[in-house]
């Protein structure tokens, strides 16, 4: 090991003391690294797709089956805002439109086997 005692950086600060072989190995052994948690299935890599307003083919983490999702549409604040806007613009006859148009409502995806909630598509 090099001896850094008495030596300084170019800006005048002293160099830190050198570590011995044992110290550097002990620090390397106690270093903790964060690793992502991965669920591994035998012979398969599972990647969750981005959902859409249509049923999607995916993998259910609850029942461990490859499925095509059931989609249930849910009215949101955005749906009610569109309805209010159409009421002011087009009168009462246009109020119902956002409640029947898929692009104005969120699409919740569920597993058809176990009924587990899988995700939401927000248009």
Answer whether residue 28 is part of any domain: no
Answer whether residue 4 is part of any domain: no
Distance CA 48, CA 67 (A): 12
Answer whether residue 100 is part of any domain: yes
Answer whether residue 102 is part of any domain: yes
- Give the structural domain span for 45: 34-121
Q: 84-100 as b/e, with b when 16 or more CB fall inside 10 Å? A: eebeeeeeeeebeebee
The total domain count for the chain is: 1
pLDDT number for residue 77: 93
pLDDT number for residue 41: 57
Tell me the pLDDT of the chain (123 aa) as tens digits: 566 666 777 777 777 777 666 665 555 544 443 333 345 556 555 555 578 889 989 888 899 899 999 999 999 999 999 999 998 888 888 888 999 998 889 999 999 999 999 989 988
3-state secondary structure of 82: helix
Helix (H) or strand (E) segment spanning residue 120: strand 117-121
């Amino acid at each position: 090991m090099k001896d850094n005692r008495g030596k300084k950086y170019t800006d005048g600060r002293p160099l830190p003391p050198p570590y011995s072989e044992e110290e550097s190995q002990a620090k390397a052994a106690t270093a903790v690294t964060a690793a992502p948690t991965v669920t591994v299935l035998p012979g398969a890599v599972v990647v969750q797709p981005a959902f859409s307003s249509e049923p999607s083919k995916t993998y259910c983490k609850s029942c461990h089956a490859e499925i095509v999702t059931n989609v249930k549409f849910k009215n949101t604040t955005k749906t009610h805002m569109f309805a209010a806007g159409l009421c002011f613009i087009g009168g009462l006859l246009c109020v119902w439109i956002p409640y029947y148009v898929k692009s104005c409502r969120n699409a919740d995806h569920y597993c058809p086997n176990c009924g587990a909630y899988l995700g939401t598509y927000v248009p």
